[in-house]
Structure 1
């Protein structure tokens, strides 16, 4: 199915240009939109995410993660961990979407957590602990 086919099938809900930006990694997708896009393609949502064969991504709802958390952008920019580099790219995308370039802290919302965990190949509930290990979480 072409990007224009998806645009037509979704009644313009997903523009071809936006879909292309998702594919190129130039734009982040929220979990609800990812789920909706998976419905249009008639596939499980995790098939639309990049991963290696050994990574298992759980996109089921969880009650243990009800709120987001805050990332220290200063610590993030100082980190040389490969996962921090991925997080930095994702954080930059969030800042761009929100037009939030003012502070040294960035709030990661619940939906952002799910996508970020999937991108990092981790379970959502494990993400805060990993970010604590990296010294990137500003608050619990």
Structure 2
């Protein structure tokens, strides 16, 4: 392997490490939590080395780590900056939905809405899982799922208790 190959590999390891750390933090897990949840398969010191890009992680270990984080393997890999969607900035008309509450609701429209929101989370690589901010173009799709007019979506979600309201300090 040439020095250039080493540099490229090292840079990629750092990018993978940044993704690993980002997902772990979004899951509100410490290095020790991951070690415990993986039954000591992923030692905190080794996972820290992966996150710093000091060690390359094998595909098989990446697959097992994805199971620990409950995400797809592809989500542990760095994003391709060439594939960032145009218009990814949030337009006005944003709405914050409590996905945790939604997951407890019964019925086909709620199941469909939850699947839709999970798809958005995967596209955005947002693994917090509790609250998602939907954008104006998403609200149109939600209106169809809830069988209401687009301008009625916020009121309908509010009446269902699904609009996230941050606790007051």
Give the TM-score normalised by structure 1: 0.48
Bigger proportion of residues as helix: 2
Larger Rg: 2
Give the TM-score normalised by structure 2: 0.41
